[in-house]
C-alpha cells in the first residue's frame, strides 16, 4: 500500500521546482517527508480534485499494546473475531447514505458516499480496516471501525452471553 499524501499551496517563490522538496523538508519534523514537488494548474486542489481516498484504521489486538505506536493505533486487548469483521465490512461497499456514521455537527450537504473497496486484514497482532471511497464524512471511518469492532466482539449476538467491557484509550 502506498501512503502518499498530496498537498498544494500557492507561492511567489523563485526557487526552482526541483529544489522545493529539499527546502521544505529542511523545515519539517523528521516524521514528515516531501518526496516530490511539481507545478500544477491554478485550479488544482488536493482535497477537492481527489478521485478517491483510502483510510486505514489500525487496531493493536495484543494484550499489552505498544508504547511506540500508542498514538497511531487503537489498542484492543480483547481478541476480536476477524472473520466476522471481514464479512461485516463488505456491507459498507457501494453507494449508501452514511448519515448514521457521521459525527454530530458535520456540515456536509449530503451524507451519501461511495465505498469502492472495504477490507479487514490481519497481520500478527494488528487488524487493519481499510476503506477506499470517493469521500468520507467527519469521523466516518472511526465510527465504522467502532461498529466493526463491536461485530468482532460479538456485541451483535445474544445479550445472554454478553459481558460489559470498558476501554481506555
**In a shared domain, residues 24 and 81:** no
**In a shared domain, residues 60 and 141:** yes
Task: State the 10-residue block means of pLDDT for the chain, 169 residues long.
Answer: 76 92 92 89 88 93 91 93 97 95 84 96 97 93 95 70 49
Q: Which domain holds residue 10?
A: 1-50
Task: State the residue for C-alpha cell 447514505.
Answer: 97
**In a shared domain, residues 154 and 75:** yes
DSSP label at 140?
A: H
CA distance 161 to 169: 25
**Could you tell me the three cell numbers for 112?**
451519501
**In a shared domain, residues 30 and 85:** no
**In a shared domain, residues 67 and 41:** no
Predicted model pTM: 0.76
pLDDT of residue 6: 87
Domain count, the chain: 2
**In a shared domain, residues 142 and 66:** yes
Chain centroid, CA 99 distance in Å: 18
CA distance 118 to 52: 13
Amino acid at each position: 500500500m502506498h501512503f502518499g499524501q498530496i498537498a498544494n499551496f500557492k507561492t511567489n517563490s523563485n526557487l526552482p521546482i526541483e529544489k522545493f522538496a529539499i527546502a521544505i523538508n529542511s523545515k519539517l519534523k523528521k516524521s514528515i517527508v516531501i518526496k516530490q514537488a511539481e507545478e500544477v494548474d491554478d485550479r488544482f486542489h488536493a482535497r477537492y480534485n481527489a478521485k478517491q481516498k483510502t483510510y486505514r484504521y489500525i487496531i493493536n489486538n495484543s494484550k499489552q499494546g505498544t508504547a511506540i505506536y500508542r498514538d497511531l493505533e487503537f489498542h484492543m486487548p480483547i481478541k476480536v473475531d476477524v472473520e466476522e469483521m471481514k464479512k461485516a465490512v463488505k456491507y459498507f461497499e457501494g453507494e449508501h447514505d452514511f448519515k448514521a456514521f457521521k459525527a454530530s455537527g458535520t456540515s456536509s450537504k449530503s451524507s451519501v458516499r461511495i465505498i469502492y473497496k472495504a477490507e479487514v486484514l490481519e497481520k500478527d497482532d494488528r487488524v487493519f480496516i481499510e476503506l477506499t471511497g470517493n469521500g468520507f464524512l467527519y469521523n466516518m471511518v472511526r465510527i465504522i471501525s467502532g461498529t466493526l469492532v463491536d461485530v468482532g466482539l460479538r456485541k451483535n449476538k445474544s445479550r445472554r452471553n454478553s459481558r460489559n467491557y470498558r476501554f481506555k484509550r
